Structure 1
Amino acid sequence: MEYGPGARTVEVVDYDPAWPARFAAERALLAGVLPGASAIEHVGSTSVPGLCAKPTIDILAVVADVQDVRERTDALARHGYDYRPGSFPDDEQHLFFRKVADGRRTHHLHVVAVGSPLPEDYRLFRDYLRSDDEAAREYGRLKRALADRHAAERPRYIAEKSAFVDELMARARRRRAGGS
């Protein structure tokens, strides 16, 4: 998205079948920059076939020690990743990087330590949406409505989406536990 006052920062688009290939290319790049990563995975809406999304590839990297990554931010910066310290103020072990090209976010990189509960949450959410077409459609409808309403207000878009994400996570946990 373009940056600046009043700029549209939230745009939800139809699923793009090129997103998995874009992730695969970025995964190969990141494997060279984060050689100690135990996992580099495609997460978020762009990882769910058929789901509309902001056209930003969300990537999860699981590492032994996030401090090692903090010390290598220059290597990530050489590949276009801008470290955003403080993005998750309640979790100092969750590092966030964004990649921007031509004024648009292209990738988000979430780096967490082995042992963090976040990888399981990201996977559970992704896999639930991949397995439940109706939940994915509900989520897509909400995202489109919020993007229309809050195109220039990314924080508000995220905040209003959060309650439904929590609901979907509760459903996914019930399903995993054998409930309905």
Structure 2
Amino acid sequence: MVNSDDHNNIPVWAFEAIEIKKPNAMWKNKGIQEREELYILLSPFGVKQIEHIGSTAIPNLPAKPIIDLMASIPSLEQINKIAEHLLSNDWHYVPPELDKKPWRRFFVKVKKDKRVAHLHLLQEGEERWEKQLIFRNKLRTNPHLVEEYANLKSRLAQEFNKNREEYTEAKTDFINKVIFN
């Protein structure tokens, strides 16, 4: 759905404020459900691996209530067919020129003008695949990192409430510290 006040037809969900919610035990189940649905949708394109990543994949971590998933695909050549296929299931393709992350193809699942899930589609062998898993797994096993990350996210959500890109960029140093230490 499009905000009628916007002459560029930019979807409402593109400018959602950042809301950090208390940890929710249902996020794990929602991640499993989204992963299973995506596997059915993407397996005809050669996807064999889908992981629940991001803050909702980490117990006891406050998060935006958006399930982040990462899928590995042999080639990005069929991206237009994939985008068309996913759109019928509420997944909206954000092209690389808008996403500004050429190493992935990004999709946003939208329900009632709200983001409910993100899909990071990576080509097999992309180095960020392992980094995402390292970050998730280190936080899953270290409550001190979870607390530190929760405090950072809370502060940044207030500081960059209307700017998702700056919010994400401001977390980079912490994420790299976790991955490389």
Structure 1 distance, partners of 2:39, 2:54, is: 19
Alignment of 1:92-171 (within 5 A): 93-171=103-181
Q: Which of 2, 9, 16 is the aligned partner of 2:24?
A: 16
Report sequence identity in percent.
29
Work out the CA distance in 2 between the residues paired with 1:90 and 1:72. 18
Q: Which runs of 5+ in 1 are unaligned?
A: 172-180
Unmatched runs of 5 consecutive residues or more in structure 2: 1-10
Residue of structure 2 equivalent to 1:48? 58
Matched residues in 1 for 2:167 and 2:100: separation? 19
State the AA in 1 paired with 2:47: A
Query: What residue number does 1:72 align with?
Result: 82
| Aligned mates of 2:166, 2:104 — CA distance in 1 | 22
Task: Give a deviation string over 1:39-62, Cα, whole Å, max 9, x none.
Answer: 011001100011111111000001
Alpha-carbon offset, residue 167 of structure 1: 1.8
Match of 1:58 in 2: 68
Which residue does the alignment assign to 2:42? 34
Residue 150 of structure 1 and its aligned partner are, at CA, apart by 2.0
**Aligned positions, number:** 168
- TM-score, scaled relative to structure 2: 0.85
* CA distance in 2 between partners of 1:8 and 1:43 (Å): 21
**2:55–2:61 Cα contact (<8 Å) kept:** yes
Deviation by residue 1:132-167 (Cα, 9 ceiling, x = unmatched): 110111000110111122212222212222222222
Distance 2:168 2:146 in 1: 17
In structure 1, the residue matched to 2:5 is none
Moved >3 Å (runs of 4+): 2-5, 87-90
Letter in 2 for 1:29: E
Q: Kindly provide the amino acid, as one letter, of the partner of residue 73 in structure 2.
A: V
